[in-house]
Protein backbone atom coordinates (compact mmCIF):
# COMPACT_ATOMS: atom_id res chain seq x y z
CA UNK A 1 0.00 0.00 0.00
CA UNK A 2 1.36 3.44 -0.83
CA UNK A 3 2.39 5.56 2.09
CA UNK A 4 3.85 8.62 0.43
CA UNK A 5 2.06 11.90 0.90
CA UNK A 6 2.08 12.52 -2.85
CA UNK A 7 -0.20 9.58 -3.51
CA UNK A 8 -3.84 10.26 -2.75
CA UNK A 9 -6.13 7.27 -2.82
CA UNK A 10 -9.34 7.86 -4.73
CA UNK A 11 -12.76 6.91 -3.43
CA UNK A 12 -12.81 4.02 -5.92
CA UNK A 13 -9.54 2.64 -4.52
CA UNK A 14 -10.66 3.16 -0.93
CA UNK A 15 -13.83 1.10 -1.46
CA UNK A 16 -11.63 -1.87 -2.38
CA UNK A 17 -9.56 -1.70 0.82
CA UNK A 18 -10.02 -4.04 3.73
CA UNK A 19 -10.64 -2.52 7.15
CA UNK A 20 -7.05 -3.24 8.11
CA UNK A 21 -5.64 -1.61 4.97
CA UNK A 22 -7.80 1.50 5.39
CA UNK A 23 -6.89 1.76 9.06
CA UNK A 24 -3.18 1.45 8.23
CA UNK A 25 -3.43 4.25 5.66
CA UNK A 26 -5.27 6.41 8.22
CA UNK A 27 -2.38 5.89 10.63
CA UNK A 28 0.10 6.93 7.92
CA UNK A 29 -1.89 10.08 7.17
CA UNK A 30 -2.13 10.89 10.87
CA UNK A 31 1.63 10.45 11.27
CA UNK A 32 2.38 12.64 8.24
CA UNK A 33 0.08 15.43 9.38
CA UNK A 34 1.33 15.29 12.97
CA UNK A 35 4.98 15.36 11.88
CA UNK A 36 4.26 18.31 9.61
CA UNK A 37 2.45 20.13 12.39
CA UNK A 38 5.32 19.53 14.85
CA UNK A 39 8.22 20.08 12.45
CA UNK A 40 10.42 23.13 12.46
CA UNK A 41 11.05 25.09 9.29
CA UNK A 42 14.71 24.02 9.25
CA UNK A 43 13.72 20.35 8.96
CA UNK A 44 12.50 18.53 5.87
CA UNK A 45 10.15 20.19 3.42
CA UNK A 46 6.83 20.93 5.03
CA UNK A 47 3.57 20.03 3.38
CA UNK A 48 1.78 22.69 1.42
CA UNK A 49 -1.71 23.68 2.46
CA UNK A 50 -3.05 21.85 -0.59
CA UNK A 51 -1.17 18.64 0.31
CA UNK A 52 -2.50 18.80 3.88
CA UNK A 53 -6.02 19.35 2.58
CA UNK A 54 -5.69 16.38 0.20
CA UNK A 55 -4.53 14.14 3.03
CA UNK A 56 -7.34 15.35 5.27
CA UNK A 57 -9.93 14.64 2.56
CA UNK A 58 -8.47 11.19 1.97
CA UNK A 59 -8.55 10.55 5.71
CA UNK A 60 -12.22 11.48 5.86
CA UNK A 61 -13.01 9.05 3.03
CA UNK A 62 -11.01 6.33 4.78
CA UNK A 63 -12.79 6.99 8.07
CA UNK A 64 -16.21 6.76 6.40
CA UNK A 65 -15.15 3.51 4.70
CA UNK A 66 -14.00 2.03 8.03
CA UNK A 67 -17.27 3.02 9.69
CA UNK A 68 -19.23 1.40 6.86
CA UNK A 69 -17.26 -1.83 7.20
CA UNK A 70 -17.74 -1.87 10.97
CA UNK A 71 -21.49 -1.31 10.56
CA UNK A 72 -21.67 -4.21 8.11
CA UNK A 73 -19.89 -6.50 10.58
CA UNK A 74 -22.19 -5.36 13.38
CA UNK A 75 -25.22 -6.24 11.23
CA UNK A 76 -23.76 -9.69 10.49
CA UNK A 77 -23.25 -10.28 14.21
CA UNK A 78 -26.82 -9.23 15.00
CA UNK A 79 -28.18 -11.58 12.31
CA UNK A 80 -26.04 -14.44 13.65
CA UNK A 81 -27.34 -13.79 17.18
CA UNK A 82 -30.95 -13.80 15.98
CA UNK A 83 -30.43 -17.00 14.00
CA UNK A 84 -28.87 -18.65 17.04
CA UNK A 85 -32.11 -18.02 18.97
CA UNK A 86 -34.31 -19.77 16.38
CA UNK A 87 -34.99 -23.33 17.60
CA UNK A 88 -34.13 -26.21 15.27
CA UNK A 89 -37.05 -28.32 14.02
Phi/psi at 35 (5° precision): -65, -40
The whole-number pLDDT of residue 85 equals 83
Whether the predicted pLDDT of 5 surpasses 50: no
Q: What is the pLDDT at residue 42?
A: 43
Stronger pLDDT, 72 or 82, i.e. the higher one: 72
| Number of residues in the chain | 89
Q: Read off the pLDDT of residues 7-41 as tens digits, 9 standing for 90 and up.
A: 678 888 999 999 999 999 999 999 999 988 776 55
pLDDT of 74: 96
Amino acid sequence: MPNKKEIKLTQKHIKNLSFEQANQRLEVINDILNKNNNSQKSENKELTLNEMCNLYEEGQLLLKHCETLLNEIQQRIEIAKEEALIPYK
